[in-house]
Amino acid sequence: MNKSKRLYLSPPQMSEEGYELQYIQEAFASNWIAPLGPQVDAFEKEFGEYIGVPYTLALSSGTAALHLALLVLGVETGDEVVCSSFTFAASANAITYVGAKPIFVDSDEETWNLSPYWLEVLLKEKAKKNQLPKAIVAVDILGQSCHYNPILKLCEEYQIPLIEDAAEALGAEYYGKKCGQFGVISAFSFNGNKIITTSGGGMLASNNKEYIDKARFLSTQARDPAPHYQHSTIGYNYRLSNILAAIGRGQLKVLPKRILRRREIFRTYQKGFENVPGITWMPEPKEFYSTNWLTCALIDPKVFGATREDIRLKLEEHNIESRPLWKPMHLQPVFQNCEYYGENVSEKLFELGICLPSGGAMTKEQQDFIIQEVISLSKNKL
């Protein structure tokens, strides 16, 4: 193994065919360098067709997409918004941007995503006090969909709109439907470590044209229709540039291949650790289709013989990046005053969980080396 070159957890991977550069060249040739342009329009259209949602809006980040989703739904100062606790901070941060307060909900063991059980407990309690939350942000974590049937039933019963944070789950499915189809509005990210990247970028998607029109207006400085610059609302500068959209179009072409490859990497790890006790894998329930964006495992230190941190440090010795699973939001200092509904499922995921290198360009030799190094820490090594 070449120690001088760091092996990253999930680095960008441009297409072997060079599609991204072709589209960038088109953008240069047409001189559409400045924001927006034909690449953005085409990227939105192709992305919408892929996930099966008609209205889409390309943005500068997934965080911007979440912020606009909350604005479009009219969430404002003093409101409460439910959010998965087991997520990356951006899901919850966006809630605070509009002056609202997150209430965190635990994961379930079956999906590692928003627990329908605790969501129901929360909504029942809040309904009694006549203090229902204004929206729910359900996060499709680590390449896997939430269990949407019971969640959507609760949204319907209590008449609360669902925002789907599908930033980590582009291409994942639930009962044959792609993530992004479940929220009244959904957010995606093309940040550098996601399954496809534009170096930085995001997308909003909705079946509701009004939501996307309103988000488009807000994302381009909220300019009223007039020959001069006239504003009656506060706007934002959140659009994706035409050059970055060109990268996105090229990446979208190889997305199906990338998903198959990430699933293959996951299975290779599973097979490699088949006879090693103390390791369990992120579950993929029946009727779910995960992209395995990151290969995630739980390490039981008593059975395995080492902690997830021992594993991380061991790999780090070889300049290989791995990472603990997300630290739940209800344990974050910045959200310490927020309410939490749940037990300790997300806490346990954080305590025991590790993400192993999952980049599609990783070689078989590199993956075998990682497996070998991890097994060397096991007290039951073969």
**Interface residues with ligand PLP (CB under 6 A)?**
61-63, 87-88, 90-91, 139, 165, 167-168, 189, 191, 202
* φ/ψ of residue 363, rounded to 5: -85, 165
Between CA 144 and CA 152 the distance in angstroms is: 17
Strands (E), 215-305: 279-281, 288-289, 295-299
Which of 25, 37, 28 is CA-nearest to residue 239?
37
Nearer Cβ to ligand PLP (160/163): 163
How does DSSP classify residue 241?
Answer: B
Q: How far is the CB of 305 from ligand PLP (least distance, A)?
A: 31
Q: Which residues have a Cβ under 8 Å from the Cβ of 260 and sit 6 or more positions away?
A: none
Of the two residues 238 and 304, which places its CB atom closer to ligand PLP in the complex?
Answer: 238
- DSSP helix, strand, coil percent of the chain (3-state; round to 5): 40, 15, 45
Is 83 or 160 the residue whose CB approaches ligand PLP more closely? Answer: 83
Nearer to ligand PLP, 42 or 141 (CB): 141
Q: How many CB atoms lie within 10 A of CB 173?
A: 18
Strand locations in the chain (E)? 55-59, 80-84, 101-105, 135-139, 162-165, 173-174, 177-178, 185-189, 202-206, 279-281, 288-289, 295-299, 323-324, 340-341, 353-356
Q: Where are the beta strands (DSSP E) in 211-281?
A: 279-281
The two three-digit tokens of residue 87, written as one number: 């997520």
Nearer of residues 140 and 347 to ligand PLP, judged by Cβ:
140
Please report how close the Cβ of residue 140 comes to ligand PLP at its closest, in angstroms.
8
Q: Which is nearer to ligand PLP, 278 or 360 (CB)?
A: 360
Q: Minimum distance between the CB of residue 377 and ligand PLP, rounded to whole angstroms?
A: 28
Q: How far is the CB of 84 from ligand PLP (least distance, A)?
A: 8
The backbone region for 292, taken as left when phi is positive above 0, alpha when psi lies in -120 to 50, beta otherwise, is: left
Q: What is the closest distance, in whole angstroms, from the C-beta atom of residue 47 to ligand PLP in the complex?
A: 14
| Residue whose C-beta lies closest to ligand PLP | 62
Structural tokens at position 306: 């080492």
**Of 27 and 187, CB closest to ligand PLP:** 187
Nearer to ligand PLP, 111 or 189 (CB): 189
Q: Which is nearer to ligand PLP, 148 or 273 (CB)?
A: 148
The 10 Å CB-count burial string (b at 16+, else e) for 47-72 is bbebbebebbbbbbbbbbbbbbbbbb
3 state DSSP class of 163: strand
Residue 180 CB, shortest distance to ligand PLP, in Å, is: 13
Shortest Å, Cβ 133 to ligand PLP: 19
Instruction: State in angstroms the smallest separation of the CB of 128 from ligand PLP.
Output: 31
Give phi and psi for 159, each to the nearest 5: 55, 55
Q: Smallest gap, in angstroms, from Cβ of residue 363 to ligand PLP?
A: 26
